[in-house]
Amino acid sequence: MLPVSRDTLLRVVRRRATTPSDPLGVIGIDDFAWQLNHCYGTLVCDLERRYIVALLPDREQATTQTWLKENASIRIVARDRGGGYGEAIARALPQAIQVADRWHLMENASRSFLDAVRRSMRQVREVVGAATLDPALLTAAERIQYEGYLHREESDVAIRALADAGVPIRRIGQRLGHSRKVVRAVLRGERTEVFRVRQSSLDAYLPWLDAQWDAGGRNATEVWRMARAQGFRGSLRVVGEWATRRRRAEQTNIERLQRVPSARTLARLLTTDRDWLTKAETLTVAAVEGGVPALVEAREVVVSFQAIVRGTEPGQFEEWLRRAEGSLVASFARGIGQDRSAVQAAIMLP
In the predicted model, residues of the chain with pLDDT beneath 50 are: 131, 252-258
User: pLDDT tens across 196-232, in order?
Assistant: 555 567 777 877 888 888 888 888 898 899 888 888 8
Specify the pTM. 0.63
Task: Order the strands of the 39-46 sheet from edge to edge.
Answer: 51-56, 39-46, 26-35, 76-79, 97-100
Per-residue pLDDT at 312? 59
Per-residue pLDDT at 71? 92
User: pLDDT tens across 5-48, in order?
Assistant: 999 999 888 888 766 678 899 999 999 998 887 899 999 999 99
| 11-100 CATH fold | Nucleotidyltransferase; domain 5 (3.30.420)
Q: Where are the domains of the chain?
A: 11-100, 106-120+263-338, 202-247
**Region for residue 216 given its phi and psi (left: phi exceeds 0; alpha: psi -120 to 50; beta: otherwise):** left
In whole angstroms, give the CA distance from residue 322 to residue 317: 9
Per-residue pLDDT at 327? 92
When computed from its CA atoms, the radius of gyration of the chain, rounded to whole angstroms, is 25
Per-residue pLDDT at 255? 45
| Residue of 84, 89, 79 whose CA lies nearest to 28 | 79
